[in-house]
Structure 1
Amino acid sequence: MTTQDQPAVSPPADTSLANRYGSKKQPLPRAVKRGIAVAALAAGVGFMAWVSTSSAGSDVTFKDIGFTTIDATAAEVDFQVTREPGTAVKCAVKALDSKFAVVGWKVVDIPPGEADGTADGGRTVSQRVTLRTESLSVSGVVDDCWIPGAGT
């Protein structure tokens, strides 16, 4: 005698999914969501304050104006430096070859200037620097400018 197999009664879908994957997660309480939003807002405001004050601390800016190759052993770089009057500045100037390798390098001392009647009050000074090069250069740029002794 054979008996027919009875179809198995399957458990409800919610129960089988809960057994397999775990129960549904509870949503975050409103107070926790509000706390996360306040913390994110405070972090954003703090970041913006840091960005605005860190860029304001940079008292020296520079701008490349021109470059001239004199020959295979020399080049001239023209640039402007803007700083507060009465502040001495050092600038690193470099000459590059066609493969962007540094072929000349010099640190230039810019003496403190005095405030004058110009539009910017004597903050901007123009400089021309002659660099000795080890081979023919195709460009010359200011690498960086800084106030000696600041931040050390």
Structure 2
Amino acid sequence: MQKLTRIITLSVALTVVSGCSYVGVYKRDIPQGNLVTQEMVSQLQPGMTQEQVTYVMGRPLLEAPFDTREWDYVYRLDKAYAGVEQRRVTLTFDNTGRLMNVAQQGDFSGDLPISTDTSAGPATETTDPITGNATPGQRATTPENAPTPQPVMPTE
């Protein structure tokens, strides 16, 4: 009986710890596509060339494969705990490459929560990943303090 109690207790403990726990999972916002703001769209004027539009909006996420006169800028933000927000701007050009029409879909009234995390990418060996400073006991190698190579003398 005591062995059966231990087995049941161990089974329940493993089940709770493995996947049926009540501990929440960390989620983060996932932005995808072209960042599109109302400020950017308000700078667009009919008659602008494709180069001028590219300067204001950047390259489009989607260019219609059969009609190069239509550009789509799509931004999708999958919020970790609040759902999905999507914005879309469709630009139509005439045959001469001038902007004719600007169509918007989505809510452009609110600001987007944009992460300002500047520590993107892997840390170097001599850099602390948290602070970005040289790790204790080491100097970060820069062109100013890089060691000069010493010539190797042949031994006899």
TM range (shorter): under 0.3
Q: Which has the larger radius of gyration?
A: 1
Quick check: which one's strand share is greater? 1
Give the structure-1-normalised TM-score: 0.27
Greater helix proportion: 1
Higher relative contact order (CA 8 A, sep 6+): 1
